[in-house]
Amino acid sequence: MSKTKTLFFCQSCGYESAKWLGKCPSCRSWNSFAEEVVVKNESTKNEWHTDSSKSKMIKPKTLGEIESAREVRIDSADKELNRVLGGGIVPGSLVLIGGEPGIGKSTLMLQLGLSLKKTKVLYVTGEESEQQIKMRAERLTTKTSENFFILTETNTKNIFLAITQLEPQLVVIDSIQTLHSSLLDSVAGSIGQVRQCAGELMKFAKETNTPVFLVGHITKDGMLAGPKVLEHMVDTVLQFEGDRHLAYRILRTTKNRFGSTSEIGIYEMQGHGLREVSNPSEILISQKDGPLSGATIGATIEGNRPLLIEIQSLVSVASYGTPQRTPNGFDQKRLNMLLAVLEKRCGFRLGTQDVFINMAGGIYVEDPAIDLALCASIISSMEEIPVSEKICFAAEVGLGGELRAVNRIEQRIAEAEKLGFEKIYISKFSQKSIDLKKTKIEIHTFGKLNEAFNHLFR
Ligand code: TYD
Ligand code: MG
């Protein structure tokens, strides 16, 4: 039997070589060669020809000529996952779920498979034995599903054999780094293998309209050969993150062809699997006896969901040289900017203080509406004046110390009201878009950071 021809290509410039090279002679990048299967063209002639018999079959269409397919999605019984995917699993989609080892990717996929009672699921694992999967499944649920099948296999050819026999309606591959295709000589997990296997699975997904989930390991810096090169091949990239030592896990999309990338799903890892957290604001606000200086609550929006998040600050005199500015769950540069605004526009002497910031629940907040809450939290800690836990904030802070309007203010106010807050501090420029009479919560509007502080700390 003749072996398929494979060649090595530099991933950054496309240089071709018959054997693996450590350094590309052309673009000089290191460790950039990956093995690929080469398919010879039947003709070496130019692709451009005026032969009209062929061009009749390949005919471009207008949008009107294309029949619009009704979008049917598989409802995954997991509301958080549905939301993150943009409303359910799209048939024929290839979804990559990445995350650090031990974060709970296998658990999430196993739970998904077991919850889809009416869909035939094939769970292919190259990492764990059948017994291990069974033990884990028993932890997750007491009922077994008749439609859930497990295969421990790493060779793509055998996997496709099993798929042809079983005809599953959803396939989970755990993990893509353990698969290998016999068409390539390189070891499982190398860039070439990962890409080849994902390519084969993509072809399968698109041709049979079966959704495929690929699990991929990523280290903190997102390195590790594999998932990064896959990101442009797949339809959706999910990132499962969180601190392994904390119970909360966040599922985000970094790419989604079928929905928004700003949605997040929140889970809690428990003794018997992942629990969906449907009211995240409750967990993001810590329980404590009475108000504490340095703790405030910001009304943010993640995706389409309003979230009330607790911010804690600790401001103390810097005892060694340069003061430290350590934000946890917030952008360092933005913190520096806000500190400069507090110093210059409001006259607080923060230059000699260490500032530590912590967002509750290990969440990373990008919404600028958190600015006012963050500033209030810093000043509260510095001045040792607690802020009542019945107050929340939603405004962006500008370089002039002015409070700016934020988007979807009604939604934030409604969430704060729902959770029993008594007051919300917003920008006066947000005021025109809201109907003040309809709300029970007291709305305080300010134009400047100073005015808000005078009202809050007087
Ligand atoms: P796992 O899904 O194996 O992570 P990954 O596939 O991303 O490497 O699970 C990770 C952790 O979750 C593991 O340390 C044990 C814990 N865990 C629970 O706390 N409760 C459970 O019910 C299960 C199944 C796992
Ligand atoms: Mg795993």
Distance of alpha carbon 76 from alpha carbon 83, whole angstroms? 10
Distance of alpha carbon 365 from alpha carbon 372, whole angstroms? 13
pLDDT at 415 > cutoff 50: yes
Label residue 102 by pLDDT band (50, 70, 90): confident
Distance of alpha carbon 394 from alpha carbon 305, whole angstroms? 14
Residue 290 buriedness (CB in 10 A; 0-12 / 13-18 / 19+)? exposed
Distance of alpha carbon 29 from alpha carbon 288, whole angstroms? 54
Residue to mutate, 107, 140, 217, 251, ligand 1, most ligand atoms under 8 Å from C-beta: 107
pLDDT at 413 > cutoff 50: yes
pLDDT at 1 > cutoff 50: no
What spacing in Å lies between the alpha carbon of 253 and ligand 2's midpoint?
A: 19
Over residues 120-130, mean pLDDT: 93
pLDDT tens track for 365-411: 889 999 999 999 999 999 999 999 889 999 999 999 999 999 989 88
Distance of alpha carbon 173 from alpha carbon 168, whole angstroms? 13
Query: CATH assignment of 74-276?
Result: 3.40.50.300
Atom number of ligand 1 nearest to Cα 269:
19
Residue 230 buriedness (CB in 10 A; 0-12 / 13-18 / 19+)? buried
Atom number of ligand 1 nearest to Cα 174:
6
Output the residue whose Cα is nearest ligand 1's atom 6.
106
What spacing in Å lies between the alpha carbon of 104 and ligand 1's midpoint?
A: 5
Distance of alpha carbon 201 from alpha carbon 162, whole angstroms? 13
Label residue 44 by pLDDT band (50, 70, 90): low
In the chain, the percentage of residues whose pLDDT exceeds 70 is 91
Cα 445–chain centre separation: 34
Atom number of ligand 1 nearest to Cα 99:
7
Output the residue whose Cα is nearest ligand 1's atom 21.
273
**Least trusted range by pLDDT, from 111-125, 193-207, 209-223:** 209-223
pLDDT tens track for 176-209: 889 989 888 888 877 788 888 999 999 999 999 9
What spacing in Å lies between the alpha carbon of 280 and ligand 2's midpoint?
A: 26
Distance of alpha carbon 161 from alpha carbon 165, whole angstroms? 6
Fold of 283-456: Ribosomal Protein S5; domain 2 (3.30.230)
Indicate which ligand has the atom closest to the C-alpha of 270.
1
Cα 136–chain centre separation: 25
Q: What is the pLDDT of residue 411?
A: 86
Q: What is the pLDDT of residue 420?
A: 85
pLDDT at 247 > cutoff 80: no
Residues having CB within 6 Å of any atom of ligand 1: 99, 101-107, 136, 139, 269, 271-273
Output the residue whose Cα is nearest ligand 1's atom 13.
102
pLDDT at 43 > cutoff 60: no
Q: What is the pLDDT of residue 317?
A: 92
H or E stretch at 308: strand 305-317
pLDDT tens track for 329-376: 899 999 999 999 999 999 999 989 999 999 887 788 889 999 999 999
Indicate which ligand has the atom closest to the C-alpha of 114.
1
Give me the phi and psi of 71, to 5 degrees please: -75, 110
What spacing in Å lies between the alpha carbon of 116 and ligand 2's midpoint?
A: 20
Atom number of ligand 1 nearest to Cα 175:
6
Give me the phi and psi of 43, to 5 degrees please: -120, 145
Indicate which ligand has the atom closest to the C-alpha of 108.
1
Output the residue whose Cα is nearest ligand 1's atom 9.
104
pTM of the model: 0.76
Please give the structure tokens belonging to residue 65: 């000529």
* Contact status, residue 139 vs residue 43, Cβ threshold 8 Å: no
Atom number of ligand 1 nearest to Cα 107:
2
Report which of residues 211 and 321 the model is more confident about.
211
Over residues 253-262, mean pLDDT: 86
**Average pLDDT value over all residues in the chain:** 86
Label residue 221 by pLDDT band (50, 70, 90): low
What spacing in Å lies between the alpha carbon of 250 and ligand 2's midpoint?
A: 16
Label residue 121 by pLDDT band (50, 70, 90): very high
What spacing in Å lies between the alpha carbon of 202 and ligand 2's midpoint?
A: 21
pLDDT at 40 > cutoff 70: no
pLDDT at 418 > cutoff 70: yes
Listed residue (100, 83, 73) closest to 276, CA to CA: 83
Residue to mutate, 141, 177, 243, 269, ligand 1, most ligand atoms under 8 Å from C-beta: 269
Protein residues within 5 Å, CB atom, of ion ligand 2: 106
Instruction: List 267's β-bridge partners, or say none.
Output: 249, 276
Atom number of ligand 1 nearest to Cα 110:
2
Atom number of ligand 1 nearest to Cα 140:
22
Q: Max CA-CA distance within the chain? A: 86
Label residue 245 by pLDDT band (50, 70, 90): confident
What spacing in Å lies between the alpha carbon of 249 and ligand 2's midpoint?
A: 15
What spacing in Å lies between the alpha carbon of 190 and ligand 2's midpoint?
A: 18
Integer CA distances (angstroms), 27 to 8, 11, 34, 192, 229, in order: 15, 10, 15, 19, 19
**Least trusted range by pLDDT, from 74-88, 229-243, 345-359, 441-455:** 229-243
Q: What is the pLDDT of residue 244?
A: 67
Indicate which ligand has the atom closest to the C-alpha of 272.
1
Atom number of ligand 1 nearest to Cα 128:
3
